[in-house]
Amino acid sequence: MQLSKHTDYAFRVLIYLGMQPEQNGAQIKEIAERYDISRAHLMKVVQKLAQHGFIDAKRGQGGGIKPNRPAHHINCREVIETMEAVLTPINCQTPPCLIRGECRLAGYLHAAQQAFLTQMQHYTLADLLTPALQTPLQTPLHEVRFDSNANNSRPAGGK
């Protein structure tokens, strides 16, 4: 599943705010400049994050944006489901697909999407702010399955 730019930017805003010293907020302008994102686009993202209670946004003199809850209370799946306009992995309705009745692709993609969202349920903004080497994997590496048909894949230690 590829996230939309809207969701990508939402995570960037949340991560940026999470990296600020406690009680310090930020301005949309500084985040836009930092990540080279259109201010207009970022304003839409910030507005939606504020509407859903992830951040507090104040306009005008002395305004800015701040997290509205602790980082460990901002769930990654919740952010994705809030920011993504459509979570349907494939559209078999428009235009109508002629093999819709016989095809299993939609079911497989839906199952894969649910697995992705279930995995993301395990993570919070706090996990995204933790240095990579300190973040425990939800699935131990010895349980991770790799596709043996993928290019250049070989068992660990293989040549």
Out of 3.90.45.10, 3.40.190.10, 1.20.58.220, 1.10.10.10, select the CATH number for domain 5-143.
Answer: 1.10.10.10
How does residue 143 score in pLDDT terms, banded at 50, 70 and 90?
Answer: low
Residues 61-93: tens digit of each pLDDT = 778 999 999 999 999 999 999 999 888 888 888
CB burial of residue 83 (10 Å; 0-12, 13-18, 19+): buried
Q: Cα(92)–Cα(107) distance, rounded to whole angstroms? A: 11
66-75, 123-132, 136-145: which range is least confident on average?
Answer: 136-145
Cβ(117)–Cβ(77) below 8 Å? yes
Residues 7-38: tens digit of each pLDDT = 999 999 999 999 988 667 899 999 999 999 99
